[in-house]
Structure 1
């Protein structure tokens, strides 16, 4: 499956779970973004620079989080074959993951959609290195994407993240950027 070229920038407004905004700039295989929000009475900012390879597997992510309690930074690196390092130390709990998924970001759903290239009716597990917004803690997130028939020219995937009890239909544009993530974010630009 092929996708249209990515725009130079994109933006999402957070919904329901939090109030805030995410803005992203695409530079080839480098993605730079910032997301800000108020969630459960706590304000936070997460800046990120993520590099992906030609297959859309995550290779490196530099993430900075800021809250009232201070600033945190983490460097996450992957070999493209499912082995990870966090701040230079091996992270075997992430073995087998090919994508990074930021709790603060709707954009990171782009990675598995591009990488998997699912045909209509096909599905796949897509475990990810999941980075928490408040403390930048990193854990394994088992998730699943299944391509369903397009709706109005938009690509649709049934998404599941059992650990969070999440099942929903994600709607993407022709570039493979999420337009609607129910209860989390909607694309503004």
Structure 2
């Protein structure tokens, strides 16, 4: 078990995350208070298989919205609340929680990039509260480059950040968004 905490860049939000890892995969669970501009709070639970492919995602915001998703690990997703298929997320192997830097760990571990290597991925992006009119996961193309042993460049849309990580692939510093306490 590993426990980490992050503070958002403006100093008003804090996250407590527990990471459990065994031969079957990862279990990430966390609580966030003061989610960036919204000031909302939330709970999340993400599980992966042994290859760090996302299998289940639960997000519950204190303002009410919830998501409970399941993936077969091959890019096929379902809403566990009503059993419906989610073709808009087809091809997504990873999840990206807008409220937390912890989900950057999943592609970092799964891809196993050498220094100088890059990879494009599709992630099921779970937005910040109020970021979109409807709280639902959306497919997002992302690009990871390993710059040094403990440094990755993350790119998506018009956004780019260099992420400093520890030996377990957990973010230490996410410029302008999060820093590890």
**Aligned residue for 2:176?**
183
Instruction: Give distance in 1, aligned partners of 2:122 and 2:161.
Output: 17
Q: 1:125 aligns with which of 120, 125, 129?
A: 120
Secondary structure of 1:142 counterpart = strand
Moved over 2 A (4+): none
Unaligned runs of 5+ in 2: none
Q: 1:22 aligns with which of 15, 25, 29?
A: 15
- Contact 1:15–1:186 (CA under 8 A) maintained in structure 2: yes
- Contact 1:24–1:34 (CA under 8 A) maintained in structure 2: yes
Instruction: Give distance in 2, aligned partners of 1:158 and 1:124.
Output: 11
**Aligned residue for 1:100?**
95
Q: 1:149 to 1:27 in 2, by over 3 A?
A: closer
**Aligned residue for 1:45?**
41
Q: TM-score, normalised by structure 1?
A: 0.85
- Contact 1:34–1:46 (CA under 8 A) maintained in structure 2: yes
* Residue-pair matches, total: 171
Q: Deviations over 1:131-175 (max 9, x none)?
A: 12316321111110011123xxxx11111011xx11121111111
Instruction: Give distance in 2, aligned partners of 1:39 and 1:176.
Output: 23
**RMSD of aligned Cα (Å):** 1.5
Using the TM superposition, give the Cα deviation of residue 38 of structure 1 relative to its aligned residue in structure 2, in angstroms: 5.0
Instruction: Give distance in 2, aligned partners of 1:34 and 1:176.
Output: 20
Instruction: Give distance in 1, aligned partners of 2:92 and 2:57.
Output: 14
Q: Deviations over 1:47-100 (max 9, x none)?
A: 011111001010001111112xxx222211100011111232111111111111
Instruction: Give distance in 1, aligned partners of 2:101 and 2:35.
Output: 16
